Structure 1
Amino acid sequence: MDQTIEARGLTKRYGDQLAVDDLSFTVQPGRVTGFLGPNGAGKSTTMRLVLGLDAPTAGTVTVHGRRYAELPRPLHTVGALLDARAVHPGRTAAQHLLALAQTAGIGRERVDEVLGLVGLSGVAGRRAGTFSLGMSQRLGIAGALLGDPPVLMFDEPVNGLDPEGIRWIRGLMRDLAAEGRTVLVSSHLMSEMALTAQHLLVLGRGRLIADTGIDDFLRQNGDETVLVRTDEVDRLARLFRRTGATFEARDDALHVLDRTATEIGKLAAGEGIALTELTPTRGSLEEVFMALTEDAVEYGVRA
């Protein structure tokens, strides 16, 4: 069965505002796809379009080859967390999940199972209105998992989680993908996306900027430098100047911008300069993302 999320020419306008602009992409199963973009880039709108909560102005988006409204058993097909606080505050965690389960023919035993999966068994009888944001996130994830769906979408799922919770959800996302599910995760935490996602969709002002594996994204968009350490740093710096290499001196090391590690090693060896470290490096996901999207920031501080 086709487990992809597929958008073709997807466009959404709210009056004069173009929120999503001619998006075409496919989210494949078996990997975590990170959905990145600055505030206002159109990520949440795109997720709402996938779930049929908003109607596209143009184009289509399907799950399992169908529009969400056409899915015969939607809760068994797509699980989603868009707003962790969208829970009746007077209901207990168990009551909230049971109400969802009853609309989809899911038994009480599955409610107990997902409460255990997200670590909320001990507070199943507490009212959701008393939950912290982190606990609400766990409850929202339980709701997404309730129908054991092959397609999962999470919008900022780590908000409010403590370090243990962040580590837990990181492992959960990767485990779900390893089971062959389609997992789409939106987050502003680049450090978490670097550890969790295998593929990236990057938006800017509603348009698709990148659709690629995370390693390819860093390689294609980030500048590679070579970190060099030696006990003869002044002598090596003079050698670099003499041979026209571009470099920066930082933290007792030289960062070379326009030579490969092999070239630097041969150059130093030719002068009899012993190197204690020779490490190619690239910018972090956060650095590369910020550089790539700086012209697509909707709300930012202007110098």
Structure 2
Amino acid sequence: MIEAQGLTKRYGKTLAVDDLSFSVTPGKVTGFLGPNGAGKSTTMRMILGLDNPTEGQVRIGGKRYHELHHPLRTVGALLDAKWVHPNRSARAHLAWMAKSNKISPRRVDEVLETVGLSAVANKRAGGFSLGMSQRLGIAAALLGDPEVLLFDEPVNGLDPEGILWIRKFMHRLAEEGRTVFVSSHLLSEMALTASELVVIGKGKLISQSSTDDFVARASENSVKVRSPQLDVLRDALTRASATVAPADDGVVVSGLDIAKIGEIAMENGVVLHELSPQRGSLEQAFMQITGDAVEYHADLEAEAQRALAPTAN
């Protein structure tokens, strides 16, 4: 279990993380989301003792990282897939890590097999593709058979088959009762991978909830309606101050709950073929809830590009 309490990190005048508290429990994949510059990487570094918090603390299984006697046996992490010395082979890199934490050398071959790198175990890591480097980083995280695992953008560089593999792998780790904490910008993938979410913006906690609750809280109250009498129903709903938008084979109604729409249809003698609530996506929910925490918007980027473009004579 990971418990962060009042984490604050300042770099000079810059406040990177601001009084951040959250917990990550075992048995689930917990996604760590936030816009660029939200403080996700800084938070992960503080969890692993790579940065000291200005205020607050974070504990892993009740202990701070520096209090762990053999840390790789408690927590495994992938923060930067390319940090390996380029002239070391995958096997040599893992063997060095294993020796530093008194882990059996047999474990090196086990994790290489697990991530599908056995065939290239003796090749220089500097020649690995990004996808292969990600797999090596995952192998390093698994080396001590830890109960807690942290992954920062673990699917970068992976092909669709690799992405599916790591998604299933993370689910399996969680089913084994481990604590799995994953940061990613691929929201469509996080919707399939994470059952819990910790969402931050500008260093502050925005939300901690299940993925389903996060999406439901942000989704607009909308209902899909199909009817052979759409014109009559559209007029009645508009008079009731609902917003009615066309859909492929019907309309989408917002501003009224599903029961009220059914009542209006009955009052106007309208036959209904479908009346169903519409669920938004994680991406839509994320954009809606974190909108105020984004420091650099796409429209600002476009404006900057226009300003830098040469002026025509």
After TM superposition, the score normalised by the length of structure 1 is 0.95
Q: Which residue of 2 aligns with 1:55?
A: 52
Asked if 2 retains the 8 angstrom alpha-carbon contact of 1:23 and 1:207, the reply is yes
Give, as a single letter, the amino acid of the residue that structure 1 aligns with 2:139. Answer: A
Task: Please say if 1:145 is aligned against 2:142.
Answer: yes
What does 1:174-253 correspond to in 2, within 5 Å? Answer: 174-253=171-250
Question: 1:53-202 alignment to 2 at 5 Å?
Answer: 53-202=50-199
The SS at the match of 1:275 is coil
Q: CA deviation at 1:130?
A: 1.1
Structure 2 distance, partners of 1:240, 1:183, is 46
SS of alignment partner, residue 194 of structure 1: helix
1:281 to 278, 281, 287: 278
TM-score, scaled to structure 2: 0.92
Equivalents in 2 of 1:9, 1:261: separation in Å?
42
Amino acid at match of 2:86: P
How many pairs align? 300
Moved more, 195-204 or 119-128: 119-128
AA in 2 matched with 1:195: L
Amino acid at match of 2:156: N
Quote the offset at 1:269 in angstroms. Answer: 3.8
| Superposed CA RMSD | 1.4
Q: Is the 8 A contact 1:84 1:136 kept in 2?
A: yes
CA shift at 1:103, angstroms? Answer: 0.9
Deviation string 1:104-160 (CA, Å, 9 cap, x unpaired) is 112222111111111111211221111111111111000000000000000010111
Partner of 2:259: 262
Other-structure match for 1:25 = 22
Partner SS state of residue 273, structure 1: coil
* Amino-acid identity (%): 61
Quote the Cα distance in structure 1 between the aligned partners of 2:166 and 2:143: 16
Runs of 4+ in structure 1 deviating by more than 6 angstroms, as ranges, are none
Alignment gaps of 5+ in structure 1? none
- CA distance in 2 between counterparts of 1:177 and 1:14 reads 34
8 Å CA contact 1:200–1:212 kept in 2: the answer is yes
| Distance apart, 1:270 and its partner CA | 4.1
Preserved contact between residue 224 and residue 283 of structure 1 (Cα < 8 Å) = no
Aligned position for 1:294: 291
CA contact (8 A) 1:106 1:147 kept: yes
- 1:48 CA drift (Å): 0.3
Whole-Å separation in 1 of the counterparts to 2:239 and 2:183: 48
